[in-house]
Structure 1
Amino acid sequence: MSRTVFCQYEQREAEGLDFAPWPGELGQRILAGIGKPAWAAWLAHQTMLINENRLSPRDPKHRAFLAAELEKFLFGGGAEKPAGYIPPDA
């Protein structure tokens, strides 16, 4: 049986994650208050950030940037798109 959480990103009840997807206190905060749909939205946003900004997850400065963006995206009311980003035609 899946567990539900009140998702702080979507502001509604949602299916909770199965494990902490990030290390440390931030990961526990995500596990306790972020649902699967919000985490999937973050993964899509993170992929865009990595591609548009040419980030390397191996670079400590880039990891710190992604962690800050993760917190803003999930808990701070959203994050900015990269400068010059043009969404694809739908």
Structure 2
Amino acid sequence: MARMVQCVKLKKEAEGLDFPPYPGELGVKIYQNISREAWMNWMDVQTRIVNENRLNLADARARKYVKQQMESYLFEDKNVEAQGYVPQS
């Protein structure tokens, strides 16, 4: 039987994730509060953010930016489509 969570992103009870999808406390927070459906939606958004902004995830600044976008999308109900990221030259 699937584990259910009260998803803060979708604002409904939905099937939860099988394990924390991110390291540390943030991963546990996502595991406890975000549904599988909302996480899959985030993965699509994240792919667009990385591709359209040509982010190199080996770069710590890029990872920090993606993490900030993830938290805004999942927990602050913000629209975080790929826009506005200007890497340092």
The TM-score normalised by the length of structure 2 is 0.89
C-alpha separation in 2, matches of 1:20 and 1:34: 10
C-alpha separation in 2, matches of 1:83 and 1:6: 30
Q: Which residue of 2 aligns with 1:12?
A: 12
Deviation at 1:81, TM superposition (A): 2.1
Deviation at 1:59, TM superposition (A): 0.9
Equivalent runs, 1:43-82 vs 2, <5 Å: 43-82=43-82
C-alpha separation in 2, matches of 1:80 and 1:37: 17
Give the unaligned 5+ runs of structure 1. 85-90
The TM-score normalised by the length of structure 1 is 0.88
CA-atom RMSD in angstroms: 1.2
Q: Give aligned-pair identity as a percent.
A: 42
Task: Work out whether residues 4 and 14 of structure 2, in 8 Å CA contact, stay in contact via their aligned partners in 1.
Answer: yes
Q: Which residue of 2 aligns with 1:38?
A: 38
Residue type of the alignment partner of 1:64:
K
Runs of 4 or more consecutive aligned structure 1 residues displaced over 3 Å after TM superposition: none
